[in-house]
Amino acid sequence: MDISNSSILFAFLLTLFAGLSTGIGSALAFYTKQTNKRFLSAALGFSAGVMIYVSFVEIFAKARESLTLIYGDTMGLLVTTIAFFAGIAIIGLIDKFVPSGENPHEMRDVKEMKEAPDENAELMRMGVFSALAIAIHNFPEGLATFISALQDPSLGISIAIAIAIHNIPEGIAVSVPIYFATGSKRKAFKYSFISGLSEPIGAIVGYFLLLNFFDERMFGIIFAAVAGIMVYISLDELLPTAEKYGEHHVAIYGMIAGMMLMAISLIVL
């Protein structure tokens, strides 16, 4: 499959934007007096709606279309389905090996900045582990954004925005404990920023590892796996975090709005 340098650059910049949005969460932690929980809840639900809808309606369908051309209808669907659940298994295994105590999707409130820290060393450890956990989680997310943008730039933009929204509370999760431990906004922001870099790194590493194998078959398999990864992220991370930040229906309304906007964009574009 022939891919132009401009397409690769565009896909990389989108992935960079999505990854570094952890810095937005970090900035919110420093420059707002309190977390707007209803807004974050709706935004996370919106992001989940975009990712779930586009995974089943667009990405899975395109993966099946590519693989059906190679394997035929029945085998093409089988390979697509296996790749979809393989994507879920990969991100599920990554999630399993992240210690629950340092889970990067634990809700944080910027009001915590006002509270006095008790155990600086423990808080620093929590912040560093949160940054590491987020970096591990973001690696396959970066590859998912990158591959989607290579396959379809407009699709890549939608996914990058959804991932960016998803990364904002992760920035807060890193910044709060590190700021507690050090009293340094610069150091807290640095760790948050670095954790987001794993997304573009994931894109680069994934691309060069698979460079010699990039063809219609490989795109179909990876695309199906991307769909699985994004469905898992939505159901395991985005919606539960949205529920913690706000009322149940706020998250659901956000999710439905995300699905509707994605549906309209796919029809129009």
Pair 166, 137: CB distance under 8 Å: no
Domain boundaries, position 61: 14-268
CA neighbor of 43 nearest in space, from 172, 163, 145? 163
Whether 4 is in a domain gets the answer no
Location of structure tokens 């992935």: 15
- 6 domain residue, yes or no: no
Determine, yes or no, domain membership for 62.
yes
Q: State the sign of the Cα–Cα–Cα–Cα dihedral 230, 261, 243, 171.
A: positive
pLDDT digits (tens, 9 = 90+) for 4-54: 778 888 989 999 988 888 888 777 766 655 556 777 788 888 888 988 998
pLDDT band at 228 (very low <50, low <70, confident <90, very high): very high
Number of domains in the chain: 1
Residue 3 lies in a domain: no
pTM for this predicted structure: 0.74
**pLDDT at 241 (0 to 100):** 79
**What per-residue confidence (pLDDT) applies to 184?**
80
Q: Using one digit for the tens of pLDDT, what is the confidence trace for 51-103?
A: 899 899 988 998 999 999 999 999 999 999 999 999 999 888 887 776 544 44
Q: Is residue 160 assigned to a domain?
A: yes
Q: For the chain, where are the alpha helices, taking DSSP H only?
A: 5-20, 22-31, 37-54, 60-71, 73-96, 120-151, 153-182, 185-196, 198-210, 216-233, 239-245, 248-268
52 in any annotated domain: yes
b/e 184-194 (16+ beta carbons within 10 angstroms → b): ebebbbbbbbb
For the stretch 172-224, pLDDT in tens is: 777 777 777 777 888 888 888 888 888 888 888 877 777 677 777 888 898 89
- Alpha carbons within 13 angstroms on the beta-carbon side of residue 5 total 0
- Residue 150 buriedness (CB in 10 A; 0-12 / 13-18 / 19+): buried
pLDDT at 112: 53
